[in-house]
Amino acid sequence: TNQLPLKVMISGAPASGKGTQCELIVQKFGLVHISTGDLLRAEVSAGTEIGNKAKEFMNAGQLVPDEIVTAMVTARLSREDVKEKGWLLDGYPRSFSQAQSLEKLKIRPDVYVVLEVPDEILIDRCVGRRLDPVTRKIYHLKSFPPETKQIKARLVTRPDDTGEKVKSRLEIYKQNAKAISSTYSNIMKKIDGNRQKDIVFKDIESLLSQTQKDNMKSMEAG
């Protein structure tokens, strides 16, 4: 059938589970996942000009300057696959001015998902997080340990996942969250992210399926 591609934004504090849920959303809905954190980390490891500029901010747990990130995101959003498959924007906008940049370009999501998790849980999730540089999969030493010894041996820790830096990232998130959500208040859906990941996903899945149906209806209504 002819479906309008979905446009989804996912937001939430550091380690609220955005990346984890995005893996599941992509599997089910086939959207193009655009994670500014992943894009920036790829620039850093490739040693590009953007990467070299971004690196110090990221490692300190601070935001990378808007102009760098906004140029990166708008370039990615204008590619053909995004128009065909729809998009899932993760980690952007992260400030009021970033939200305004998208508004000016008339780029608006169908739904704005916010994952809610208590602070004390977030710290533990960051400190225990490990990434597989080969498959890009996200693990946690306690909650989601690697499947094999071979995978375990190659896992890496993010330089911004120390207790101190997580606190700074969390503060920055809180300072910006209200201003961003004011832009999307009419399409904002809060989801309790402090449950098992499959349970969290069930809620997101039904939300996105419903959004798809609503899109169809408004398309048919013209």
Catalytic-residue membership of 108 = no
Strands 32-35 and 7-12: unpaired
Task: Please pick, among 41, 129, 130, 165, the residue that the annotation labels catalytic.
Answer: 129
CA dihedral sign, ordered 202, 217, 100, 76: positive
Q: Is 158 among the catalytic positions?
A: yes
Taking the complex as a whole, the smallest distance from the CB of residue 47 to ligand AP5 amounts, in Å, to 17
Active site residue 130: no
Tell me how far, at minimum, the Cβ of 65 lies from ligand AP5, in Å.
7
Give the distance from CA 65 to its chain's centroid: 18
- Active site residue: 41, 94, 125, 165, which one? 94
Taking CB positions, which residue lies at the least distance from ligand AP5? 37
Based on the residue annotation, tell me whether 169 is a catalytic residue of this protein: yes
d(CA 29, CA 196): 20
Cite the DSSP H helix spans in the chain: 18-29, 36-46, 49-59, 66-77, 80-85, 96-104, 119-127, 149-154, 163-183, 197-220
For residue 136, indicate whether it is catalytic. no
Contact 172, 180 (CB under 8 A): no
Query: Least separation, in Å, of the C-beta of 15 and ligand AP5?
Result: 4
Binding positions for ligand AP5, rule: CB under 6 A: 12, 14-20, 36-37, 40, 57-58, 61-64, 69, 91-92, 94, 98, 125, 128-129, 138-140, 143-144, 160, 169, 196-197, 200
Residue 156 or 221: the one with the smaller Cβ distance to ligand AP5 is: 156
- Provide, rounded to whole angstroms, the least separation between the CB of residue 183 and ligand AP5: 14
Give the burial string for 175-198 (b: 16+ CB within 10 Å, else e): ebeeebeebbeeebeebebeeeee
Nearer residue to ligand AP5 within complex by CB, 29 or 173? 173
Query: Which position among 7, 18, 125, 130 bears the catalytic label?
Result: 18
Which of the residues are catalytic? 18, 94, 129, 158, 169
